[in-house]
């Protein structure tokens, strides 16, 4: 957008009615566009209404075993709630069904050393069932397969990666494998084919920081429900102990797997505006199995929902489309299904995509996706036009006197499939399991050395885990973006390059975090 337009936006945003949060608007009223447009209107979004949606998501989770994960009744109830609200507001609502391999652990898994000494290991701390593990309860000898102890200086283990590694393997034993260069699924399938009654994959053992540290509990995925024996990942220390001669262990996992579990995206399209100029917003609607997901990502879904309910009251220049994605927590499955199901002609109509995932973290920062790569961190710039989206949000925060920072296009959320095919994207993020730095604490407040969201992917991600100030500020940002782009004659994605000619990206379609979880 032009510099003149952004100066107009600075003068246009006003805040009123700070009822519940001193200094923060309960209702944000924004001028619909910095570029004069016929029929433009303001877009008030009541943060109290957003909170009511969050309360409903919490109630749905409580009524359905504490979760709203894809493939569970809690998610289905969430989708029906959102779809019902949108239909009542006059949107054309589509429930886009797709299937995916569903998995959950039932009860508490067990891993215990029986001999030469007895010791029980602690779930989550010492070991975790691999996603898509089979079920079973076995006590057997532990047989190491091509493990390297002590570990090499660099990750390089090929333990269990080839059928030849299992020559001499005793059927019925538990296979002990080391993390390394091939996928967990390859290891597990080869072990099962060799007659293993269970599989233990331990971290490789190299010291490091962050994801480079290969000593902690291994939290991995087999990628699909193809294995029929229990498979767990452990710390390096547990694997090292189990590798000692004469080790015998008990391994028990009860899991539910369904390779074709069905779930749905909720897609709502307005009846106004040019259908060839689509302004699209989205948030994932699912939680993880472990909790209700009120911040992750009830916060984004509730704010987008309430913005949509207010945005359909009058004609707009451009077509508005809102998406509530299923199975994001399993690897962006809903958004990936949606984008791949579109023809190139339909993709070209989407002029921008805005994503809102975790917008009210308790120890938050105000993060804007780095569309122009001005931070020079991680992945490169987004498709052409992403820089303009970033600028709009920067201007919004600056107008309110709020600090902000860039956050990398890592591919960890549902913008990934859109930027992979050349659609400009942007959005907001207040932090997940990462730790707030001392510098960030000075800038944004909160606690240094503490995670942005200490309840990330846990049962405590409830209403009490939502920062109301961040929710209010970011709801205003979403309302601002919709009001601007609904009426603007100039959109970031004036043209969208075909997928085959889209600008090269350093991010694969498979997100980096998901790739790391598979091997």
- CB contact at 8 A, 235 and 144: no
pLDDT the model gives residue 246? 97
pLDDT the model gives residue 506? 30
pLDDT the model gives residue 298? 98
pLDDT the model gives residue 113? 98
Question: What are the extents of the domains in the chain?
Answer: 47-100+261-486, 104-257
Please count the residues of the chain: 519
pTM of the model: 0.79
pLDDT the model gives residue 30? 39
CATH annotation of 104-257: 3.50.30.30
Spell out, as residue ranges, where the chain has pLDDT lower than 50. Answer: 1-39, 495-517
Report long-range pairs for 58-61 (Cβ below 8 Å, ≥24 apart): 58/292, 58/294, 58/298, 58/462, 58/463, 60/292, 61/287, 61/291, 61/292, 61/293, 61/294
pLDDT the model gives residue 42? 65
pLDDT the model gives residue 240? 97
- CB contact at 8 A, 65 and 250: no
Specify which residues 46 forms β-bridges with: 27
Tokens representing residue 306 in the block = 């309430």
Q: Which fold has domain 47-100+261-486?
A: Aminopeptidase (3.40.630)
Q: Which residues are catalytic?
A: 328
Residue 440, H or E segment: helix 438-444
Residue with tokens 């390779």: 259
pLDDT digits (tens, 9 = 90+) for 433-489: 999 999 999 999 999 999 999 999 999 999 999 999 999 999 999 999 999 999 999
């Amino acid at each position: 957008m032009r510099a003149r337009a952004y100066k107009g936006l600075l003068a246009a945003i006003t805040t009123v009615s700070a009822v519940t949060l001193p200094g923060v608007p309960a209702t944000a009223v924004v001028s619909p566009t910095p570029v004069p447009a016929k029929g433009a209107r303001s877009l008030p979004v009541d943060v109290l209404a957003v909170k009511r949606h969050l309360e409903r998501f919490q109630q749905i989770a409580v009524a359905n075993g504490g979760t709203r994960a894809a493939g569970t009744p809690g998610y289905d109830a969430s989708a029906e709630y959102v779809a019902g609200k949108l239909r009542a507001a006059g949107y054309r609502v589509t429930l886009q069904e797709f299937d995916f391999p569903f998995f959950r652990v039932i009860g508490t898994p067990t891993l215990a050393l029986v001999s030469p000494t007895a010791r029980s290991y602690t779930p989550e701390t010492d070991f975790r069932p691999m996603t898509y593990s089979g079920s079973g309860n076995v006590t057997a000898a532990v047989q190491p397969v091509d493990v390297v102890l002590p570990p090499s200086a660099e990750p390089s283990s090929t333990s269990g990666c080839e059928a030849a590694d299992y020559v001499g393997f005793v059927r019925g034993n538990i296979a002990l494998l080391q993390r390394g260069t091939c996928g967990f699924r390859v290891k597990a399938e080869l072990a099962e084919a060799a007659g293993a009654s269970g599989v233990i994959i331990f971290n490789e053992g190299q010291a490091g920081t962050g994801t480079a540290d290969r000593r902690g509990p291994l939290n991995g995925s087999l990628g699909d429900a193809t294995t029929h024996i229990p498979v767990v990942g452990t710390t390096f220390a547990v694997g090292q102990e189990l590798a000692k001669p004469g080790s015998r262990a008990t391994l028990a996992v009860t899991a539910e797997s369904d390779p074709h579990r069905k779930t749905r995206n909720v897609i709502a399209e307005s009846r106004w505006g040019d259908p060839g100029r689509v302004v699209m917003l989205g948030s994932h609607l699912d939680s993880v199995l472990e909790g209700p997901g009120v911040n992750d990502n009830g916060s984004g879904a509730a704010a987008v929902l309430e913005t949509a309910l207010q945005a359909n009251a009058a004609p707009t220049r451009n077509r508005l489309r809102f998406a509530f994605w299923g199975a994001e927590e399993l690897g962006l499955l809903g958004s990936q299904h949606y984008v791949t199901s579109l023809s190139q002609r339909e993709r070209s109509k989407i002029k921008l995509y805005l994503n809102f995932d975790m917008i009210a973290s308790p120890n938050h920062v105000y993060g804007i996706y780095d569309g122009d790569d001005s931070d020079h961190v991680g992945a490169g710039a987004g498709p052409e036009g992403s820089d303009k989206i970033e600028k709009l949000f920067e201007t919004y925060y600056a107008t309110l006197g709020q600090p902000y920072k860039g956050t990398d296009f890592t591919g960890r959320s549902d913008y990934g499939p859109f930027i992979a095919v050349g659609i400009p994207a942007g959005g907001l993020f207040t932090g997940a399991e990462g730790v707030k730095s001392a510098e960030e604490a000075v800038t944004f407040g909160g606690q240094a050395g503490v995670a942005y969201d200490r309840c990330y992917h846990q049962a405590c991600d409830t209403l009490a885990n939502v920062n109301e100030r961040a929710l209010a500020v970011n709801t205003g940002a979403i309302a601002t973006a919709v009001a601007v782009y609904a009426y603007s004659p100039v959109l970031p994605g004036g043209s969208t390059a075909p997928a085959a000619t889209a600008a090269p990206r350093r991010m694969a379609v498979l997100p980096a975090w998901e790739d790391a979880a598979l091997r």
